[in-house]
Amino acid sequence: MKKILNLMLLSAVFFLIHISCELVSDNGDSVQGVKALRLTKDDISGWTEVSSKGFEEFEAASLHLIINGDAPQYVDKGLVKGFIQHINNAEKRGDLFILDFGTESNAAAMYNYMNDQNNYKAKAGNYDMNTAQLNTSAADGVTAYSHFGRYYIEIRLKDFPNVLESHQTAESLIEVFQYKISDL
């Protein structure tokens, strides 16, 4: 084991020397994992995690269990790991996909892919369309896409008696995750 570690270390040093690089301290990368973004009980009043099976973590290889059929579109874009959190507030329901794509460019590529697929684009609050947007195709809710750093966030809200309320909720949730990511 020790030999393997030494070999890995030497390889890394040779690699860096070979490509003549400069090392700088990186403040933009966080030490906490994606799981730290899970909404806690009191983060959003009125909304609670579904009492059973409300939270599931996954990696690229196990995503197909969570979303049959649609998993490849995330995995192909470089998904590393993530979680889904199911929340509800009376009859209103929300599925939050918080995904770590490893790199900022992968997360942006995932967002751009959804941007291309979205035929029902609407602005998400004050965000510009390159950062966040809504898909307003659903009659009883909304889907929101956004990306911050290496994280891509997809918020699916449904069973809202008032569809405009779902838009406000999605915008607020995007803000919450943006701030949480800044805390990482």
Structure token pair of residue 32 = 């906490």
Q: Scanning residues 142 to 171, which ones bind other proteins (CB under 8 A)?
A: 148, 159, 161-165, 168-169
Contact between 135 and other proteins by CB under 8 A: the answer reads: no
The pairing of strands 92-100 and 132-135 is unpaired
70 to 109: interface string for other proteins, x by CB under 8 A: --x---x-x-x---x-x-xxxxxx-x------xx-x----
**Among 47, 41, 44, 55, residue whose Cα is nearest residue 88:** 47
Contact between 115 and other proteins by CB under 8 A: the answer reads: no
Contact between 6 and other proteins by CB under 8 A: the answer reads: no
Q: Are 92 and 159 in contact (CB under 8 A)?
A: yes
User: Cα–Cα–Cα angle for 62, 64, 70, nearest 5°?
Assistant: 140
Contact between 48 and other proteins by CB under 8 A: the answer reads: yes
Other beta carbons less than 10 A from residue 75's beta carbon: 15
Query: What is d(CA 127, CA 150) in angstroms, rounded to the nearest whole number?
Result: 18
Contact between 36 and other proteins by CB under 8 A: the answer reads: yes
Q: Binder to other proteins among 7, 69, 94, 108 (CB under 8 A)?
A: 69
CA 87 to chain centre: 16
Contact between 122 and other proteins by CB under 8 A: the answer reads: no
Nearer to other proteins, 3 or 31 (CB): 31
Contact between 7 and other proteins by CB under 8 A: the answer reads: no
Query: What is d(CA 175, CA 184) in angstroms, rounded to the nearest whole number?
Result: 15
Total of chain residues touching other proteins, rule CB under 8 A? 93
Nearest distance, CB of residue 89 and other proteins, angstroms:
7
